[in-house]
Structure formats: structure tokens, C-alpha cells
Amino acid sequence: MVDSISRIASALDTAKVITREAAAVATSKLGESSYTYYSQNINPQQLVTLLNSRNSREVRDAMKRIISIMASDDNSIDVELYFADVVKNITTNDTKVKRLIHLYLLRYAENDPNLTLLSINSLQKSLSDSSPELRCFAIRALSDMKMTSLAPIILHTIKKLVTDPSAMVRGEVALAIVKLYRAGKSEYHEELLDVLKDLMADTDPKVISCAILTLKECYDDHLELLHGHFRRYCKVIKQLDSWSQSYLIEILIKYCKQFLPKPTVVDKSSEGSSRNCLLPEKYNEIEYPLYDVVNHPDLDLFLQSLNRLIYSSKPPVILSCCNALYQLASPMQMKNTKFIESLIATLTTTTNQGNKEMILQAVHFLSVLDQTLFLPSINKFYIFPKDPIVVSVWKIQILSTLINESNVKEIFKELKYYVANAYLPEKVVIMAVKSLSQCGQLSTGWESRVMKWLIDHMESHKLSVSILDAYVNVIRTLVQNNPTKHLRIIFKLADLLTAQMSLADNARAGIVWLFGEIASIEFKICPDVLRKLIPNFSQEGPETRCQILVLAAKLLSYDIDNFKQAQTTRVEDAETEENDQNHTYYDFSSSRISQMYNAVLYLAKYDDDFDIRDRARMISSLFDSGKYEIVSLLLQAPKPAARNDDFIISLRLETHDSKIKDFFKMLPWNTEIIETDSDVRETVALKDYNKYKKSFSSQSFISSNSARSFTSSSNTNLTGNNEISNNGNSISGKSNTNTFASQDGKKYRLQSLDEFFSDIPERKTKPKRVMRVKEESSGEDEDESEESSDEDESDDDGYSSSSLETSSSLSDD
């Protein structure tokens, strides 16, 4: 026998080399591509034949074809025409075909409710199948059909399967609630809420994950449901699905704000002082330099439980944790945890562009409120050459929030590099220029330093219009803050105007405008500037011409006012209290300024640009009418000091996305918490389905592994209801109880039998809520009878034969 095999094998061995090569060819011929080719050639008539075939293989081919058509948005064949042919195949035993039909129904069921009903019967049958996967599939397929007539059936199914032995099925029930809830019909909401309560009390993390989703989607105003589970959820949070983790954190933030008292801040800055206050509503508004925060123990529990998620690979979890600390803790607490570091690490490693932008916005949001959070990692916000524009712009904006005395030198140097770099995109350069003004606002010294550099750079480089605009804007902002201190810069600007005729129109216009504003402070230099501008009026650009006109008008108005002032003082000196009539009028003909004004006006009246002509006429009519008060009101109106957010490059790049704003919206603390004697967060009874699970496997490798904090030996016979505490207050006191990992590697707390029995609450409100203890050795269950009435059906089918074997084999040990 062996001999013959070896002979065949040796032949095949030589053939092996060939087959390997052939395999490559074969995959192309017999593999996926060829199948696709075959499949694409199925025509509509064949499709009907195949769908009605008795051969399951053919039905499968047809279904695959239909799904391919749906997935490729192919309009040549209308797959909806085969509705009846497809749906009747739901009775097949082939699970793949079933799933494919489900896909089909998901898309088309709404369009043909009557024919869809054909499939209900078969699906309902599957609900009591022995395989949990199939039960799961059935409830899923049923609840996916968005038909109002089906709602009672789905509700019935939900109620029936909520006690299913399989955690997967129970989880699916929670998701079915979401679907039924969304389908409308508010009359079911109450009943569904009861089911959800049961699911929330489940011990399986999978079911809790699903229940949290349901809570978030449907009942997010029923936060009181969390009372009995708050502490338990805080402890098991790490075992939940990563999506549910972030959902749960967001829900618990709301819960804490609603039901927990506000933390107290205790002053620690000076010894012996016992000042304290409540945590301010707004972030980073604690006035003590050093402080301690006293939290409600449950709030502490929640905040500590977050620490376990620090290594999460899912960005939403990290961001939610940051939000929790932002909403519920003081800046100091936030810094003590490592979540800021973690957020930056996520930002650095992620390749997901959308996430990167959102995290940058979040960082910016937090950094505006408290710059100290991100000060240690300032280098992270220097841009890299390959950063996309959006990322670069946000990084620079974050940098500008971080500028302070100690790092300004370094940041200024870096920003200068960006500004001077010809290869960076324009928007990035503009943003860097804008951030320079932030450097300048630090002190007068920096103000002049920044301006000097900008002017030097402006002189020596050829810059694009929009960048020049930004330069002038920044210079304007900085000069306006403190004009008297920057006279030298102003002189320099005047030189620039005359020396650099090549300067772009908008930049020149900006500078001319600036002189019009400076006139109120340093009138002396302005007429000279205007004088130098007039000869070249016709060579200037339209914006500059317009500004020259305005400058001339402004100067005249100031001059008239000055004259009047001088008059009044002279009149007052002469102590004549007679009225204006006595005033000598301003002499337009002899005033140099008036002459210049007239010259400009004359030029402007014949300008190409109608806007300039219009303005010239308006201004001249104002002066002609002699109402100088109106003139000075119009022209000398004090301009508000320009703020940085006044000039916005692009709204999209500089405003936080509405989602970030909503996300970090500070929720108010509830100040009217009703204090009750009894602990509302006392842990309620749980629903434990562990008896359906197989018991500990003798082979469990976890037992040999200390990393799973397996402190008690696995031979312990009791798989108790995990996490039932005697009384809710003793969170810290419980730490000495045993914990062990069950077969799925999760940590559970061991309870002694005494503890357990003492725990059966007298005031148990719901007799239906059953707690079970399973003793493996005996395999008996005290509540068996009560339970079996609920679910005879699933009891029969629910035990898969293998699980029975297992328990028996173990009880033999």
C-alpha cells in the first residue's frame, strides 16, 4: 500500500514542479478571473433558468451574478425583475445563497412588500435553528426588511430571542431594536426599552457593546438606565468593541454631567489656605496656580477607567477620552494623564487625511483654551515638506497659539523660513505671515523686529499679490497697535513707496491707506508722502489711485480740523464768547494741502475707473457743501485695531469644522442633583448566560500565563455573576477580591458564595430577572425550572451537541 502510494507520489513529485507553474496559469484560467468572465456572460434568460434550477450550484452562480450587477452599478440588466425568482430560493440550505438573497432583499424589499412576505416564513423557521449563526442571520434579515406590516413579528422575535443562549444572537437583538425603533411606530418604544434594560444587564461584553449602540442611537435621553451599570461598565470598558468604547465614553460624559456633583477645586498654592470652589463651567478658568480637585468617587472611577484605553489603536477612542477629560476634569488632571501625548502620537502616525485634519482642529481648539497642553511638543507642529496644504495650514495655526516669550525666537525663525520659501504653496506662506503678526504681538521689541524683517523681505523679493497683501495687512495690524513707537518703520514705509515703484498695486494701496490713518498721530510726515505720490498718479494702479484720493481728502479734513482747533484756542484766549461766525474761514487757496487735494481731485475726476470718479465727486461735494463735521466723521472715524481674525485667507482653512465644535461643546453640569440616601448607582442584578457556555477547558493556556492577572487558580468551581458588588460604595474596598480570567480571557471577579447569596436583593423589583450560579461539578441550576419555561425551544436546540459533551467530559474530571 505504502509502496504504491510512493510510486504515485514520486510521479507526482516530478509533476509538482510542473503543477506549480501550471498553477499560475491555472489561476488565470480556472481562477477568479475566468469565473468572472463566465459570470459576465450569463444573459437575462439564462439568469431566470439558473435561478429556477434545482442545482444549488447554479442558483449560486445566478445569485453571484445578480449581486455583481448590483455592486457594479450596471444598468444593462434590471435585477429587480427577478424578484420572485430570487426570493423563493430563501428555502435553500446553502448559507451563502441565503446571505446573498439577504443582500438582495436589503436593497429591494421596500419596493415589493407583498413578494417579500414569501421569505418570512422560511426566515422565521431559521429563528429556531440550532446554529447560532443561522438564528443570528434570521433575525438580522427579518429586521432589515423595512416594512411596517412586519413590525409586530419583529417585536415578537426580539422578545423571544432576548434570552437566547448565544451572546451573538442577543447582540443581534440589540441591533434589531435599533432598526425597529428607527422604523417609527412610537408605540413600541416602551416595550423595546424593557428589552434593552435586560440586554444592558447582560454579562457578555459583546452584548453590552451592542446595547450601548442601541442606547446611543435610540434612548440617549434615558441616561437613568445607566444607574445600575455605571460602575460595571467603567470596569469592563476595555473589553468592549472599540466603537462601543467611544460611544460609551460620550454617553458617560453626559451621565456624569447629569447625575454626579461638580468637582471641587481646592487651593494648594499657599500652605494652610483652605479656599475652594467648584470646577468652573469653562475650561481652564481655575484661578489658583496650584490646586487639587476633589471628585465624587464615581467620577474618579470613570476617569481612571479611561487610562486603560490609552493604548487604543482607534483614533475616535483617544479623542473621546480627551473630550471626557476636557468636559469633566481640570487642565491639571488632563496633563497628568497621557492622553495629550497619545493624541499627538495618533496625529503623527495616522495616514488618514480626514482624521489628521480633524485631530489638528481638535488640537487647535484645545490649544486656544490652554496653550500649556501642547507646549512640550511644539516641534510636532513644524511642517514637513510633503505635508498637504490643509495639514500645513492647521499646523501653523497651532504654532501661532503656542507662541510665548521663551519659544518665540525659535518659532520666529521657523516661520521666517516658511515665509521666505518659494516652494511652499501660497496659502501656507500667507498663513505663516499671519502667524508672524502673532509673534509681533508679544512685545514692542518683537513688533518692530517682525515688521523690519517683513519690510526688508518685501523690498528684496518679488512676491505675489496675495502674499504682499498679507504682508501689508500684518504691518498695518502691528503699526496700528502702537503707532508712536514705530515711527522709524513708518519712515521706512514712506521710502518704500517712493523707491519701489514695482511694488504691487494692492501693497502700495495698503501703505497709502496706512498713512491716512497715521495722519491722526503723526500728521507732519503725511503731506510729504502725498506730495511725492501726486506726480506719478497716472502710473499707479487703480487701488492706489483710489487710496491717494482718500488720503488727500483725509489730510485736508485733518488740516481743516487743526485749523479750527487753533482758531478755538485763539478765540478762547481772546475770551470772546461769540459764535462761529467770527471765525476766520479756512483758506483753501493758500493752503498747500488744499492745493494738493485739488490736484488729486482734478486727476481723479478724469480717471478711467468709474469708482474713482464717483468717489472724487462725492468727496468734492462734501467739501464744497462746507459740512466739515460730516467730513471728519466720515474720514476720521477711528478704525478698530485690526485683529488677527479680521483677515481670513480661507474660511474653510481657518474655522473649526462644525463637528469639532459640537463635539467639544461644553455640557452644563446639573446643579440640581437630588441627593438620596440610597446609592442610585448600586449595581443591579445581572443576566448571566454563562451556564450555556462550556466550562473551563482543562487545556486553557491562560492558566499558565501570569500576564492575564490570573490570580486565583482556574480550578475554582464557581463562575459567578461577575461584578455584583455587595454595596455600591465600596469600590476601592473591593480590590482585594479575587479576579480571574474566564475562558475568553476577560477578567472577572470571583465572589464567595456567601457574598453572592447575601447579595440577592430583597427589594428585587423584577422577579423575572434571574441570576444564575453555575457549579460546574454538579451542573445543577437552581433556577432551571423557572428559566426553562421561558425558553423550552431554545433550550432544546440551544445546546449544541458538542457543548454537552464538553460539560460531561469535564464533570468526569
Partner 1 sequence: MYLSFYITDIQNKLVFQYLLGATAPSFKHLWTRVQSTCPQLLEDSSSDNYLDQAMVGKDLEVYKYFSITNKLNYWCLASTSKSKGPLDCFTFLETMDCILLEYFDKDRLSIKKLVNNYDRISLIFNCCIEAGEPNVNDFLYVNKIKEAVPERSDLSKFISSTAHNLQQAVQLPQQRQQQLQQNQISRGNISLVEDEEIVPWRTSKTSKHENNELYVDLLETFHVVLEKKKSRLRLVNGDIRGAVDVRSYLNDNPLVSVRLNTMGNEIGIPSLHECVEINDDDEFNPSNITFIPPDGKFRLLEYSIDLDSQLKKSGIRMNSIGMISVHFQNGLGKDSDEFELSLNVESSKKVAQIEDLKLDLQFNIENTGGSDVAYKVKILRNTHGRFENSVTMGQGQWIFDKATPTGTIPVLRGCIEYEGVQPNSTRNIDLYTVSLDYSYVGQSASGISVEAIDILSGLTIGKNTKLYKGAKYKTKTGDFQVRL
Q: Which of residues 251-310 bind partner 1 (CB under 8 A)?
A: 307-308, 310
Q: List the end-to-end C-alpha distance of the chain, in Å, as a whole number.
A: 41
Q: Which of residues 538-567 bind partner 1 (CB under 8 A)?
A: none
Indicate whether 73 belongs to the interface with partner 1 (CB under 8 A): yes
Indicate whether 667 belongs to the interface with partner 1 (CB under 8 A): no
Indicate whether 246 belongs to the interface with partner 1 (CB under 8 A): yes
- Scanning 256-264, 269-277, 440-448, 797-805 for contacts with partner 1 by CB under 8 A, the matching segment is 797-805
Indicate whether 714 belongs to the interface with partner 1 (CB under 8 A): no
In this structure, the dihedral spanned by the alpha carbons of residues 695, 700, 706 and 711, taken in order and rounded to 10 degrees, is 20
The C-alpha atoms of residue 331 and residue 319 are separated, in whole angstroms, by 16
Nearer to partner 1, 161 or 490 (CB): 161
At position 245, the amino acid (one-letter code) is Q
Nearer to partner 1, 209 or 448 (CB): 209
Binding residues for partner 1, how many (CB under 8 A)?
153
Max CA-CA distance within the chain?
139
Indicate whether 109 belongs to the interface with partner 1 (CB under 8 A): yes
Pick from 357, 351, 356, 408: nearest CA to 378: 408
Establish how many alpha carbons lie within 13 A of residue 686's alpha carbon, considering only the half-sphere containing its beta carbon. 26
Nearer to partner 1, 522 or 795 (CB): 795
Indicate whether 711 belongs to the interface with partner 1 (CB under 8 A): no
The C-alpha atoms of residue 541 and residue 502 are separated, in whole angstroms, by 11
Indicate whether 38 belongs to the interface with partner 1 (CB under 8 A): no
Pairing assessment for the beta strands 291-294 and 264-267 based on DSSP bridges: antiparallel
Phi, psi for 265 (deg, rounded to 5): -100, 125
Indicate whether 68 belongs to the interface with partner 1 (CB under 8 A): yes
Pick from 376, 408, 382, 409: nearest CA to 394: 382
Nearer to partner 1, 770 or 810 (CB): 810
Pick from 732, 812, 726, 737: nearest CA to 776: 812
Of the candidate residues 161, 593, 653, 771, the single one contacting partner 1 (CB under 8 A): 653
Q: Shortest Cβ distance from residue 241 to partner 1 (Å)? A: 4
Indicate whether 761 belongs to the interface with partner 1 (CB under 8 A): no
Nearer to partner 1, 427 or 774 (CB): 427
Q: What is the DSSP string of 193-253?
A: HHHHHHHHTBS-HHHHHHHHHHHHHH-TT-GGGGTTTHHHHHHHGGGS-HHHHHHHHHHHH
Indicate whether 16 belongs to the interface with partner 1 (CB under 8 A): yes
Of the candidate residues 45, 55, 221, 385, the single one contacting partner 1 (CB under 8 A): 385
Q: Shortest Cβ distance from residue 507 to partner 1 (Å)? A: 13
Three-state secondary structure call for residue 481: helix
Pick from 687, 668, 669, 638: nearest CA to 790: 687
Q: Shortest Cβ distance from residue 178 to partner 1 (Å)? A: 4
Indicate whether 388 belongs to the interface with partner 1 (CB under 8 A): yes
Asked if 740 and 718 count as a contact pair (C-beta separation under 8 A), the reply is no
Asked if 393 and 653 count as a contact pair (C-beta separation under 8 A), the reply is yes
Nearer to partner 1, 414 or 517 (CB): 414
Indicate whether 592 belongs to the interface with partner 1 (CB under 8 A): no
Of the candidate residues 94, 292, 561, 657, the single one contacting partner 1 (CB under 8 A): 657
Nearer to partner 1, 108 or 255 (CB): 108
The C-alpha atoms of residue 235 and residue 224 are separated, in whole angstroms, by 18
Q: Shortest Cβ distance from residue 608 to partner 1 (Å)? A: 27
Indicate whether 10 belongs to the interface with partner 1 (CB under 8 A): yes
Tally of residues, the chain: 813
The region, left, alpha or beta by phi > 0 then psi within -120 to 50, assigned to residue 295 is beta
Indicate whether 774 belongs to the interface with partner 1 (CB under 8 A): no
Of the candidate residues 57, 78, 84, 96, the single one contacting partner 1 (CB under 8 A): 96
The C-alpha atoms of residue 709 and residue 735 are separated, in whole angstroms, by 13
- Helix axis angle, 487-499 to 465-481, nearest 10°: 150
Indicate whether 13 belongs to the interface with partner 1 (CB under 8 A): yes
Indicate whether 376 belongs to the interface with partner 1 (CB under 8 A): yes
Pick from 371, 306, 369, 311: nearest CA to 343: 311
- Scanning 82-90, 622-630, 682-690, 802-810 for contacts with partner 1 by CB under 8 A, the matching segment is 802-810
Indicate whether 15 belongs to the interface with partner 1 (CB under 8 A): yes
The C-alpha atoms of residue 118 and residue 173 are separated, in whole angstroms, by 23
Indicate whether 369 belongs to the interface with partner 1 (CB under 8 A): no
- Scanning 259-267, 414-422, 486-494, 777-785 for contacts with partner 1 by CB under 8 A, the matching segment is 414-422
Q: Shortest Cβ distance from residue 388 to partner 1 (Å)? A: 5
Indicate whether 806 belongs to the interface with partner 1 (CB under 8 A): yes
Strand partners, 719: 774
Q: Which of residues 212-231 bind partner 1 (CB under 8 A)?
A: 212-213, 216-217, 220
Indicate whether 697 belongs to the interface with partner 1 (CB under 8 A): yes
107-123 burial code (b ≥16 CB/10 A, e <16): ebbeeeeebbeebbebb
Q: Shortest Cβ distance from residue 305 to partner 1 (Å)? A: 9
Compose the 128-147 pattern: x for residues touching partner 1 by CB under 8 A, - for all others.
-----x------x--x--x-
Grid coordinates in use for 279? 470646577
- Scanning 95-103, 154-162, 188-196, 272-280 for contacts with partner 1 by CB under 8 A, the matching segment is 95-103
The region, left, alpha or beta by phi > 0 then psi within -120 to 50, assigned to residue 575 is left
CA angle 201, 204, 208 (to 5 degrees): 55
Q: Shortest Cβ distance from residue 21 to partner 1 (Å)? A: 10
The C-alpha atoms of residue 694 and residue 426 are separated, in whole angstroms, by 65
Of the candidate residues 198, 298, 357, 469, the single one contacting partner 1 (CB under 8 A): 357
- Scanning 237-245, 272-280, 519-527, 591-599 for contacts with partner 1 by CB under 8 A, the matching segment is 237-245
Q: Shortest Cβ distance from residue 239 to partner 1 (Å)? A: 9
- Scanning 165-173, 257-265, 272-280, 582-590 for contacts with partner 1 by CB under 8 A, the matching segment is 165-173
Compose the 418-447 pattern: x for residues touching partner 1 by CB under 8 A, - for all others.
--x-xx-xxx--------------------
Of the candidate residues 157, 203, 244, 330, the single one contacting partner 1 (CB under 8 A): 244
Can you tell me which residue has the cell 474530571?
A: 813
- Scanning 206-214, 264-272, 529-537, 640-648 for contacts with partner 1 by CB under 8 A, the matching segment is 206-214
Indicate whether 508 belongs to the interface with partner 1 (CB under 8 A): no
Can you tell me which residue has the cell 474566564?
A: 742
Grid coordinates in use for 54? 434545482
Asked if 337 and 325 count as a contact pair (C-beta separation under 8 A), the reply is yes
Q: Which of residues 440-479 bind partner 1 (CB under 8 A)?
A: 460-462
In this structure, the dihedral spanned by the alpha carbons of residues 86, 87, 93 and 95, taken in order and rounded to 10 degrees, is 80
Indicate whether 605 belongs to the interface with partner 1 (CB under 8 A): no
Of the candidate residues 224, 281, 341, 796, the single one contacting partner 1 (CB under 8 A): 341
Of the candidate residues 62, 86, 175, 468, the single one contacting partner 1 (CB under 8 A): 175
Of the candidate residues 55, 579, 590, 699, the single one contacting partner 1 (CB under 8 A): 699
The C-alpha atoms of residue 132 and residue 543 are separated, in whole angstroms, by 76
Of the candidate residues 49, 130, 270, 353, the single one contacting partner 1 (CB under 8 A): 353
Asked if 107 and 70 count as a contact pair (C-beta separation under 8 A), the reply is yes
CA distances from 92 to 62, 125, 136 (A): 14, 12, 17
